Amino acid sequence: MSDLHLTCQKSLFDLEDGVTYLNCAYMSPLLRSTMDAGVAGLRQKARPYHLQVDDFFQPLEKLKSLFAELIGCPNSQQIALQPSASYGLSTVCKNLRIKKGGNMVLPGGQFPSNVYPFRELAKKKDLEIRTIEPPSNFAHRGCIWNQMILDAVDENTICVAISQCHWADGTLFNLEAIRQKTRECKAALIVDGTQSVGAMPFDVKVIQPDALICAAYKFLLGPYASALAYFSPEFDRGEPLEYNWFNRRDSHQFQHLVNYQDEYRPGAYRYNMGEAAHFIAVPMLISAIEQLLVWTPHAIQEYCRSLVEPFLKTAEKKGYQFENEYRGHHLIGLYLPPEKDVDLLKERLASNRVFVSYRGDAIRVSPHVYNDTVDLETLELFL
Ligand SMILES: Cc1ncc(COP(=O)(O)O)c(C=O)c1O
C-alpha cells in the first residue's frame, strides 16, 4: 500500500489534445519514456556490433524482477516473458494435472484467450467445462456470481480459469475464496491478470495462484505482442510450448550452443518465448513497470476511484446499470437503459473523439492516470 496521492499524469503520455481516451482495457497508450526505451532498443539493433552476450540476458532478468515486485512474487525465477495471454494459458493447459473425467470451471463470457485452450484440452482429454453464467438481475449480482463459481468447484475439478476482474463488465472475482475452495478440492487456480494487474493490487503471496498470465499492452502499459507470466513451482518441470535454445542451461555460451543441452534454466525459464531477449519489447516493459511501481497499483486504483465515483452517480440516475459492489474503478461495464440506442451513442462518441469499448448492450469505460475529471464529464454529456 502506498500513501502516494496521484494527480493526472497526462503530460507523461503521447496523447493528443481533444481526445477523451477512456479505453485502457482495449489498448493502453504509451508513456513517452516507454516510447524512448523502444527507440533505444531499435537503435541497438541497428548497430549490432555493440551487442554483448549480457545484453541478451540481463535486461530480461531485470524485467522479471520488476514484474515479480509488482505482483508480490518473492522469486523472479518464476516469471517468464511470453508473446500473448493465449500463449501463457496454452502453456498452462499443456501442463495441468488431469483428473480422469474431471471438470474445469470458467465464468461465462470470458475473453477467448482464457477459454479456447481449456476447450481444446477438454476435447482432447474428454473433460467437462463448467461455464458459470452471471445472474441476469443486477441485485447482488457479483456476490451471487462468485458464490455460483465457488459452488461449481468439487473434488473432480482440475482448475478454475478466471480473471481478477471480468474483461467486459469489470466484475471482481473473489480470488482468495476461490483459492481456498480450489485448494480443498486439489484443483489449480489459473488467473488471467490482463485486465487488472498494474492498475489493481495483486499479491502472489496472498492469492497463491498456480499461474498468473498478463498480456502487457493494457494495464501494464507495455507494447503489443508481449505478456508476462508467473508460474508456480508446480510447473517447474513442465513442458514448454516451444523448444528454444535460449531457455536451456548454459545458453549464454554462444560458442558451444551445439553442445545440445537437455536441461533447462531453473524455475519458469523454460516458458520464455523464443527470442525472449527482445531488444525493443524488453526495455519498453522495463520502463513501463518501473513507472507503475513508482505510482503503485493501489494509488492508480484510488485515482481511478476519484474519477469514476461522481461519474457513476450520474450514470445511475440516467438509468445505466453496472456492477456496484464487486467491481474495481479502472474498468466498468455500463448497461444502457432500454430506451437508449447503443449505435447512436457510439456514433456520437466517435464523432466527438470520445473512446470507450462496446460489448453487446454495454459500454466499457476504463480510465487511467492520463485521464482527469473533465474526461469523465465529457463522457457524461453523451449518456
Ligand atoms: C481478459 C483478457 N485476456 C487476454 C486478452 C488478450 O489476449 P491475447 O494476448 O491472447 O491476445 C484480452 C484482450 O482484450 C483480455 O481482455
Residue where a domain stops, chosen among 272, 294, 316: 294
Could you tell me the distance, in angstroms and rounded to a whole number, from the CA of residue 364 to the centre of ligand 1? 15
> Are 254 and 357 within one domain?
no
Q: Cell numbers 518465448 label which residue?
A: 273
Q: Is 78 in the pocket of ligand 1 (CB under 6 A)?
A: no
pLDDT at 112 over 60: yes
Q: Name the residue range of residue 363's domain.
A: 10-31+296-382
Question: Cβ(290) to ligand 1 under 6 A?
Answer: no
3 state SS for 209-241: CCEEEEECCCCCCCCCCCEEEEECHHHCCCCCC
**Residue to substitute in 93, 116, 195 for testing ligand 1 pocket (most ligand atoms within 8 angstroms of CB):** 195
- Residues 223, 302 share a domain: no
Residue 36 lies in a domain: no
Rounded to the nearest whole angstrom, what is the distance from the C-alpha of residue 87 to the centroid of ligand 1? 10
What is the C-alpha to C-alpha distance for residues 327 and 165, in angstroms, rounded to an integer?
Answer: 7
Question: Over 60: is that where the pLDDT of 155 sits?
Answer: yes
If we measure between CA atoms, which residue out of 280, 229, 222 comes closest to residue 92?
229
Give 190 Cα–ligand 1 centroid separation in angstroms: 14
The answer on 160 and 52 residing in a single domain is yes
d(CA 325, CA 297): 20
Same domain, 273 and 252: yes
The answer to whether residue 370 scores a pLDDT higher than 70 is: yes
What is the domain-level CATH number for residue 204? 3.40.640.10
Instruction: Report the predicted TM-score, pTM, of the whole model to 2 decimal places.
Output: 0.97
CB-side exposure of 231: number of CA atoms within 13 Å? Answer: 30
> Does 85 contact ligand 1 (Cβ within 6 A)?
yes
Predicted confidence band of residue 361 (pLDDT cuts 50, 70, 90): confident
Ligand 1 touching residue 84 (CB < 6 A): yes
**Does 3 reside within a domain?**
no
* 27 is a domain residue: yes
238 in Cβ contact with 95 (< 8 Å): yes
Cα–Cα distance for residue pair 250/257, rounded to 1 Å: 8
Let me know whether 233 and 319 are in one domain.
no
* Residue 264 and residue 226 in one domain: yes
Q: Are residues 17 and 95 in the same domain?
A: no
Mean pLDDT of 30-35: 98
pLDDT tier at 3 (50, 70, 90 boundaries)? low
pLDDT tens digits along 162-205: 999 999 999 999 999 999 999 999 999 999 999 999 999 999 99
**Is 5 inside any structural domain?**
no
| Mean pLDDT on 7-18 | 97
Computed over every residue of the chain, the mean pLDDT equals 97
> Which of residues 294, 317, 343 is at a domain's end?
294
Q: Which of 210, 151, 152, 156 minimizes the C-alpha distance to 179?
A: 210
Nearest to 8 by CA among 294, 289, 368: 368
Tell me if 157 is assigned to some domain. Answer: yes
202-246 residue pLDDT tens:
999 999 999 999 999 999 999 999 999 999 999 999 999 999 999
Q: Are residues 113 and 235 in the same domain?
A: yes
Q: Is residue 92 part of a domain?
A: yes
Residues 210 and 118 in one domain: yes
SS3 190: strand
- 286 & 310 share domain: no
- Given a cut of 90, whether residue 362 has pLDDT beyond it is no
- Measured CA to CA in angstroms, residue 323 lies from 20, 137, 200, 361 at distances of 23, 10, 17, 14
Domain at 346, CATH number: 3.90.1150.10
Residue 204: the pLDDT is: 98
For 99-123, what is the mean pLDDT? Answer: 98
Residue 227 lies in a domain: yes
Check if 192 has its Cβ closer than 6 Å to any atom of ligand 1.
yes
Closest ligand 1 atom, residue 195 Cα? 1
Task: Indicate if 24 and 149 belong to the same structural domain.
Answer: no
Q: Which three cell numbers stand for residue 289?
A: 513497470
228 touches ligand 1 (CB under 6 Å): no
Instruction: State whether the Cα torsion 355-357-358-364 is positive or negative.
Output: negative
**Number of independent structural domains in the chain:** 2
E strands, the chain, are: 20-21, 79-82, 103-107, 128-132, 157-163, 188-192, 211-215, 227-231, 332-335, 354-355, 357-359, 362-365
Exposure letters 47-77 (e unless 16+ CB within 10 A, then b): eeeeeeeeebbebbebbbbbbbebbebeebb
What share of the chain in percent tops pLDDT 90?
A: 97
| Whether 259 and 318 share a structural domain | no
* 54-86 pLDDT tens trace: 999 999 999 999 999 999 999 999 999 999 999
Find out whether the beta carbon of 195 lies less than 6 Å from any atom of ligand 1.
Answer: yes
- Kindly give the distance from the C-alpha atom of residue 19 to the centroid of ligand 1, in angstroms, as a whole number: 24
Of 111, 116, 366, the residue with max ligand 1 atoms within 8 A of its CB, to mutate for a pocket test, comes to: 111
Is residue 284 within 8 A of residue 183, CB to CB? The reply is: no
Burial of residue 294 (CB within 10 Å: 0-12, 13-18, 19+) is: exposed
* Nearest one of 65, 86, 81 to 273, comparing CA atoms: 81
Query: Residue 4 — pLDDT band, cuts 50, 70, 90?
Result: confident
What's the pLDDT tens digit per position in 263-318? 999 999 999 999 999 999 999 999 999 999 999 999 999 999 999 999 999 999 99
Q: What does the pLDDT read at residue 121? A: 98
- Domain assignment present for 38: no
Question: CB of 167 closer than 6 A to ligand 1?
Answer: yes
